[in-house]
């Protein structure tokens, strides 16, 4: 317990850093994921191509490489932002590709007649997708979206290697201070468990409230 009690503020700072990264990157991933899923099923060919390329590139690029591209590449083009914001961009964009595919699989479960009926009532593609198709698709993919965001929370550990305050990075300071590396990582693992179990509990509630009964 000494590792935790004597360094509670350090652990707390790292824990809050990971929570912030997870929340902001999750919001970005969900927004971009919904947008790209809409592009993937849009009647406009250029939108479908853009969505397909977005997913293909990000799903097949190692996250660490994407961090390097964002944190070291964007400043070369004059875009200078705090490292935490760069980390949110990298995590959010990377995860959005997986959210997109989850949503697209949900869209495929919605009967085509639903969209056709909406368009026969005079709705545009955007209106039928946003008010008829996507709400039904989301209800069927709540659990996999939760799993994807849990993976995002764990992936946030990579940000510590790029001078971003997060939970895993606390081991460096504690190791230099001579604390047991085993107990250092035990409490780090407990922190990640709190975060991931909280996300799991939230999506369990959403599934019970909005999910499709099976």
- Average pLDDT of 121-130? 72
CB 90 within 8 A of CB 72: no
- Give the model's pLDDT for residue 212: 59
The tokens 């935790």 sit on which residue? 4
> Looking at the predicted structure, is the pLDDT value of residue 160 above 90?
no
Residue 178 has pLDDT above 70, yes or no: no
Per-residue tokens: 135: 């709400």
pLDDT of residue 38: 87
- The answer to whether the beta carbons of residues 143 and 52 sit under 8 Å apart is no
Spell 14-53 as b/e; 16+ CB within 10 A means b.
Answer: bbebbbbbbebbbebbbebbbbbbbbbbbeeeebeeebee
CB-CB contact of 55 with 121 (8 Å):
no
Full-model pTM:
0.88
Q: Average pLDDT of the chain?
A: 83
Structure confidence at residue 58 (pLDDT): 93
26-75 pLDDT, tens digit per residue, is: 999 999 999 999 888 888 888 889 999 999 999 999 998 998 888 888 88
């Amino acid at each position: 317990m000494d590792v935790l009690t004597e360094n509670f503020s350090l652990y707390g700072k790292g824990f809050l850093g990971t929570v912030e990264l997870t929340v902001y990157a999750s919001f970005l991933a969900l927004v971009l994921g919904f947008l790209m899923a809409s592009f993937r099923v849009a009647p406009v060919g250029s939108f479908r191509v853009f969505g397909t390329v977005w997913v293909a590139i990000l799903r097949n690029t190692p996250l660490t490489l994407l961090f390097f591209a964002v944190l070291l590449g964007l400043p070369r083009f004059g875009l200078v932002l705090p490292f935490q914001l760069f980390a949110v961009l990298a995590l959010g964009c990377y995860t959005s590709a997986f959210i997109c595919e989850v949503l697209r699989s949900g869209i495929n479960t919605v009967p085509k007649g639903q969209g056709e009926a909406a368009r026969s009532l005079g709705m545009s593609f955007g209106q039928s997708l946003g008010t008829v198709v996507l709400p039904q698709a989301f209800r069927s993919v709540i659990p996999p979206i939760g799993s994807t965001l849990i993976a995002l929370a764990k992936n946030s550990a990579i940000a510590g290697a790029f001078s971003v305050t997060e939970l895993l990075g606390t081991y460096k300071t504690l190791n230099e201070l001579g604390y047991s590396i085993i107990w250092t990582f035990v409490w780090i693992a407990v922190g990640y468990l709190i975060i991931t179990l909280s996300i799991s509990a939230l999506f369990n509630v959403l599934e019970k409230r909005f999910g499709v009964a099976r």
